[in-house]
């Protein structure tokens, strides 16, 4: 874990302090939870359906039988 410093507006600090007291959590814990939620919403969800039909497989291949394996390899 790394220590860092952030600057909050006065009203943000008051809300954070109040939330910490009400939830019995430390202010740092609440900030870490908020940062985690922020990054969760920023991650692009992969729509595997977009991959269907974008390429031609080998003529005598079994791609349809190994679709999960092929997708895992392509997503690396």
Residues of the domain holding 9: 1-52
Residue 3 belongs to a domain? yes
Tens digits of per-residue pLDDT, 26-67?
A: 999 999 999 999 988 877 777 777 767 666 666 666 666 777
Burial class (CB in 10 A: 0-12, 13-18, 19+), 9: exposed
Residue 3 near residue 28 (C-beta atoms within 8 A): no
Number of domains in the chain: 1
pLDDT of residue 70: 73
What is residue 60's predicted lDDT score, i.e. its pLDDT?
60
The CATH number covering residue 33 comes to 1.10.1220
Whether residue 40 lies inside any domain: the answer is yes
Cα 75 to Cα 50: distance, rounded to the nearest angstrom: 13
55 vs 25, residue with greater confidence: 25
């Amino acid at each position: 874990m790394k220590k860092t410093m952030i600057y909050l507006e006065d009203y943000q600090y008051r809300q954070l302090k109040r939330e910490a007291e009400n939830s019995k959590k430390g202010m740092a814990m609440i900030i870490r939870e908020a940062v985690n939620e922020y990054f969760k919403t920023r991650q692009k969800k992969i729509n595997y359906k977009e991959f269907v039909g974008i390429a031609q497989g080998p003529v005598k291949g079994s791609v349809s039988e190994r679709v999960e394996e092929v997708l895992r390899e392509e997503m690396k």
